Amino acid sequence: MGKKARNKKQRKEAEQRSSTSIKQKVLASPNFWLNLATCFLLIICTASVYWQVVDHDFLNFDDGQHITENAEVQSGLTLHGLRWAFTTTHTTNWHPLTWLSHMLDCELYGMSSGGHHVTNLLFHLLNTVLLFLLLKRLTSAHWCSACVAMLFAIHPLHVESVAWVSERKDVMSTFFWMLTIWFYADFVTHKKKSKYLLALTTFTLGLMSKPMLVTLPFVLLLLDYWPLNRIAFENAKQPVSELRITVKRLVLEKLPFFVLTIISALITVLIGDVQTVQDFTIWGRIGNALVSYTAYLSDMFWPHPLIIFRPHPGELPLWQPLLALLLLTAITLFVLRHGRRHRFLPVGWFLYLGVLVPVIGLVQVGIQARADRYTYVPLIGIAIIVVWGIAYLSRNWKSRQKPLMVAGVMVTLLLMTCTYKQVGYMKNSMTVFEHTVKYAPNAHYAHNNLALAYKNAGDFDRAIEHFSEAIRIKPDKFEAYNNRGVAYFGKQEYDKAVADYQEVLARFPDHVEARNNLGNVFQIKGKLDQAIKQYRRALAVSPNHHEVNNNIGSVYFSKRDFKRAIEHFTRAVNANPFYLAARTNLARVYGEMGDIEMAIKHFQLALELEPNNPATHDWLGISYAFVGQKEKAIAHYKIALSINPDMQATQQRLQQLIQ
């Protein structure tokens, strides 16, 4: 062996010994086992209150747009879906990475809601552990870091972000928020460009998950002050001019982050559902923002009631925003006065104020006053103030450990109980909106969505009751008229249904859903030509609307116009490959035309969408029997009967084949 080879071997052996030695030291370190035990405790407490989400349903609030009515997402990970995720303006945010995560869930779990909820929970668990490890690393304060992480993990204000599938963007973007700070701390410690690039990369990924991360560069500047201590104000040896140069250098250091922030903000404003001044005046927005800042603080210390939708109040009584401004000013002055001595105060307070800016309502997106989910990251700042403040105030107490530990356990158990109960309200659309209308009886949106839940459950009377209440509260919101018409249709009160649809169409002649629903009334009454006329007017506005194409195809099918029926059923399944009714109808048309091969093909595709649909198995049995494939026909008849034993016609067909 040559000298060069021997040296290389020796270096390799030395590196292996060094690596083994480091591992042994880490495993032997009490700090390692304490961190591991703390992480385990955080995970157990968090999972124990949130694990019930595995039995939760999707909600009829945003989950439709994001998953249950989104054919692109339900198709899973595809090249077409990848392009769609990066170019869509389907919702008020540009978040392609969030879309891809939903697509991956559909790939893994299909439309089983429990799997989608578990992904949210896993992100929350990761965020909790990362927050603890990050604070511990930056401050070396183990128990303070653990307490902040515990408050983050189990506070009821965070239930929406975790137990609502559509809020994947919250938990996912926060994961990258934590990683960005982690790599930034690495960069500050080691001064390696690779760490800076990693921080910039994770920041970009975070913005692609939710644009709320636009405030993160400012948070990095706060962390420069504390706990990284890169900015010195008191007892500084350098003159003020040098201090200014230091701050300027730290700002310039984050210039790439600010550039990405500006780009993300511009995209959000261009594609978002930004309300006009006519909707909410600038003074109405400022007043609501001030009150919301104080309301979030109140909810952190007294989280009741917490509801999923709070309608924007418009113009508030002047005393409310003035009182909120007075309180916020007083806290800010206190923080500024004591911030040089206790650096956690300004960092925590301005983290809270700053991170909320994009969603506080100054630029109003949507019609809500505020939302619990917006506090997912900002309340970390308040938790830091509370925990480090208690640690400072109790520093001279003798034997402080036991009373603080007892208090900590009691607060933890109380929050876990509240959070467990709050997670229960998120079980399905009915439970969440029953809870909402209880505490916000004038929230028209909540009444409308609760009514939709009743309608889907077949309780048309209660649905009509809440649709009517939504109309009473907001007579100009014509969506409730259309929805109430559907409920009347379900009760076979067709004249009342027509009256509601016409109420919508009188103001919005191009309202596709109302036009389609009016066509449904004509179809069920046997007025097929009038039904076709309504469907065609709807298709003139939305040519690829899958429900309208399926409905007009059904009319042509009943008129034995198979060519046009196939044309429209095909459009329907192309627009939404997961639309079972259109797929089944397409198969039936081919069966009626005698093209059994195509009929079997589409029935099989229908079974892929809903494997336990007895009607589809029955149709497949009929198709196979028609072409003489007796064994396959018998097999599908038996499956249909095992699912629904009351299918007498299927039983007769099975007996005939067996005999």
Give tens-digit pLDDT for 76-134.
Answer: 999 999 999 988 766 677 899 999 999 999 999 999 999 999 999 999 999 999 999 99
Residue 13 has pLDDT above 80, yes or no: no
3-state secondary structure of 172: helix
Q: Which of 26-30, 126-130, 245-249, 259-263 has the highest mean pLDDT?
A: 126-130
Give the pLDDT confidence score for residue 234 in this predicted structure: 53
CA distance 428 to 424: 9
- 172 pLDDT tier (thresholds 50, 70, 90): very high
pTM for the structure as a whole: 0.89
Nearest to 175 by CA among 218, 228, 217, 122: 122
Any idea of the CA torsion for 543, 546, 550, 556, to the nearest 10 degrees? 10
Q: pLDDT digit string (tens) for 440-475? A: 999 999 999 999 999 999 999 999 999 999 999 999
Spell out the residues 6+ positions from residue 528 whose beta carbon is closer than 8 angstroms to its own: 522, 555, 558, 559
CA distance 390 to 344: 12
Q: Work out the percent of the chain whose per-residue pLDDT is above 90.
A: 74
Phi-psi sector, 2: left (phi>0), alpha (psi -120 to 50), beta: beta
Give the pLDDT confidence score for residue 87 in this predicted structure: 85
Tell me the residue type at 245. I
Per residue in 235-254, is it b (16+ CB within 10 Å) or e — as a string? Answer: eeeeeeeeeeebeeebeebb
Spell out the residues 6+ positions from residue 97 whose beta carbon is closer than 8 angstroms to its own: 85, 172, 205, 208, 209
Residue 168 has pLDDT above 90, yes or no: yes
Give the pLDDT confidence score for residue 370 in this predicted structure: 87
Give the pLDDT confidence score for residue 584 in this predicted structure: 94
> DSSP characters for 188-202?
HHH--HHHHHHHHHH
Which position has the higher pLDDT, 3 or 305?
305
3-state secondary structure of 311: strand
CA distance 500 to 172: 42
Task: Work out the average pLDDT over 339-345.
Answer: 94
CA distance 222 to 348: 9
Tell me the residue type at 485. G
Residue whose tokens read 């978040």:
95
Backbone angles phi, psi at 511, to 5 degrees: -70, 105
Mean of all residue pLDDT scores within the chain: 90
Give the pLDDT confidence score for residue 1 in this predicted structure: 54
Residue 277 has pLDDT above 50, yes or no: no
Give the pLDDT confidence score for residue 238 in this predicted structure: 57
Q: pLDDT digit string (tens) for 498-554? A: 999 999 999 999 999 999 999 999 999 999 999 999 999 999 999 999 999 999 999
Residue 175 has pLDDT above 50, yes or no: yes
Q: pLDDT digit string (tens) for 134-145? A: 999 999 999 999
Task: Work out the average pLDDT over 386-401.
Answer: 88
